[in-house]
Amino acid sequence: MKCLYTFFFASLLGVPAFSSFAQPPQTTEPIFVWPDLAPGETQRTTGTQLPMRAADKPPIIRIEKIRRPPMSVYPATKKANGSAVLILPGGGFGKVVPNLEGSEAAEWLCELGVTCFVLNYRTRLANNPQEPGWKRPLQDAQRAMRWIRANAKRWKLNPDQIGLLAFSAGGQVGAILITDERESYKSIDNIDEQSFRPDFAMLVYPWNMYDKNTDKLMAAIQVNENTPPSFIIHTHDDGSTSLGSVLLYADMKRKKVPAELHVYETGGHGYGTRNRPNSNIGSWSDRATDWLARRLPR
């Protein structure tokens, strides 16, 4: 799959573009899911890009210090079917990776007729280490889901066909988003009248969901009968153990939630939709395409 450079974030951050990279069509102006300050924030900074690493080929963008989360939109490039997917990149909560685990995945989904929304959720505050890393990203994700539904007509979307794709730390947020039905912030306007629950979800190497002290899922993840149909990807050799994904699937099985789990032997962590040497992990999006065929409008 071709590597995409997110020109939206490049222009926002003053980063030079890589003209050799392809990209799906997208919005050119930043979309902010919060009308002004996000909950608990005093700043409106959209983030700072970290220096590129020479070892990353193709390049990987990393953005830190996000206090006002921007979102970019990638309209479907083929036979738009009215469905949409909110994409939550990874980054360990200290940063966000919007191309490897954002725009590159959008390229795949846009070809399936899906409109994609890549969210640069807020990163961890250095002066508040006791706060769970997922707390503010969860607020941003709930608000983003509501924003998409509130603006469904603008993008010619079916508000009952809004899904989720989440990677790594974003996958941890995604697992909480699909299993916890409680609001994570106080309502601020009519957008918050919309549901924040995804209609389907894809979690790709969700990070640190397993609590080794209890041998269970982290307490914030509570699968219930209303958890949406889910597709889960992990690798056996991931340092962020696949036990979290296995336990999540097991709980979905117990609650009779439609789910599909794939654990590849090799591939490690942080591959996005890219291939890895000596691994067939790059084929996971083919498996997800098969799964989506049962859920997307024809």
Task: Give 230-275 as a 3 state SS string.
Answer: EEEEEECCCCCCCHHHHHHHHHHHHCCCCEEEEEECCCCCCCCCCC
Q: What is the pLDDT of residue 259?
A: 98
Q: What is the pLDDT of residue 24?
A: 65
State pLDDT tens for residues 63-82: 999 999 999 999 999 899 99
State mean pLDDT over 198-212. Answer: 98
- Nearest Cα neighbor of 66 from 101, 41, 31 is 41
Strand partners of residue 159? none
Q: Is the pLDDT of residue 257 over 90?
A: yes
Q: What is the pLDDT of residue 25?
A: 67
CA distance 7 to 142: 25
% of the chain beyond a pLDDT of 70: 91
- Asked whether 112 and 292 are in contact (CB, 8 A), the reply is yes
> For residue 288, what are its two tokens?
């997800």
pLDDT tier for residue 243 given thresholds of 50, 70 and 90: very high
**Dihedral sign, Cα of residue 92, residue 98, residue 104, residue 110:** positive
- The secondary structure of residue 154, as a DSSP letter, is T
% of the chain beyond a pLDDT of 90: 86
Q: What is the pLDDT of residue 106?
A: 97
pLDDT tier for residue 212 given thresholds of 50, 70 and 90: very high
Q: What is the pLDDT of residue 28?
A: 61
* Rg of the chain (C-alpha set): 18
Q: Is the pLDDT of residue 4 over 80?
A: no
- Specify the DSSP element, H or E, that contains 167: strand 162-167
State mean pLDDT over 157-177. Answer: 98
Q: Is the pLDDT of residue 200 over 80?
A: yes
- Asked whether 47 and 66 are in contact (CB, 8 A), the reply is yes
CA 221 to chain centre: 16
State mean pLDDT over 259-267. Answer: 98
Q: What is the pLDDT of residue 298?
A: 81
CA distance 59 to 20: 12
Q: Write down the number of H helices and E strands in the chain.
A: 6, 13
User: What is the three-class DSSP state of 229?
Assistant: coil
Spell out the domain ranges in the chain. 7-292
State pLDDT tens for residues 18-40: 333 355 666 667 899 999 999 99
> For residue 175, what are its two tokens?
């697992």
- Specify the DSSP element, H or E, that contains 70: strand 70-74
Q: Among all chains, which residue has been given the structure tokens 């006791």?
A: 130
Higher confidence at residue 113 or residue 14?
Answer: 113
Quote the pTM value. 0.92
- Nearest Cα neighbor of 137 from 124, 126, 146 is 124
State mean pLDDT over 43-50. Answer: 96
CA–CA distance from 19 to each of 22, 75, 95, 137, 226 (Å)? 8, 20, 25, 31, 44
Q: Is residue 170 left, alpha or beta, with left meaning phi > 0 and alpha meaning psi from -120 to 50?
A: alpha
pLDDT tier for residue 156 given thresholds of 50, 70 and 90: very high
Q: Is residue 37 left, alpha or beta, with left meaning phi > 0 and alpha meaning psi from -120 to 50?
A: beta
- Asked whether 31 and 70 are in contact (CB, 8 A), the reply is yes
CA distance 100 to 105: 8
Q: Is the pLDDT of residue 53 over 70?
A: yes
Higher confidence at residue 61 or residue 27?
Answer: 61
CA 241 to chain centre: 19
CA distance 125 to 143: 20
Higher confidence at residue 28 or residue 118?
Answer: 118
CATH 3.40.50.1820 fits 7-292, yes or no: yes
User: Across all residues in the chain, what is the average pLDDT?
Assistant: 91
State mean pLDDT over 3-16. Answer: 38
CA distance 15 to 281: 31
Q: What is the pLDDT of residue 129?
A: 82
Q: What is the pLDDT of residue 27?
A: 65
pLDDT tier for residue 2 given thresholds of 50, 70 and 90: very low
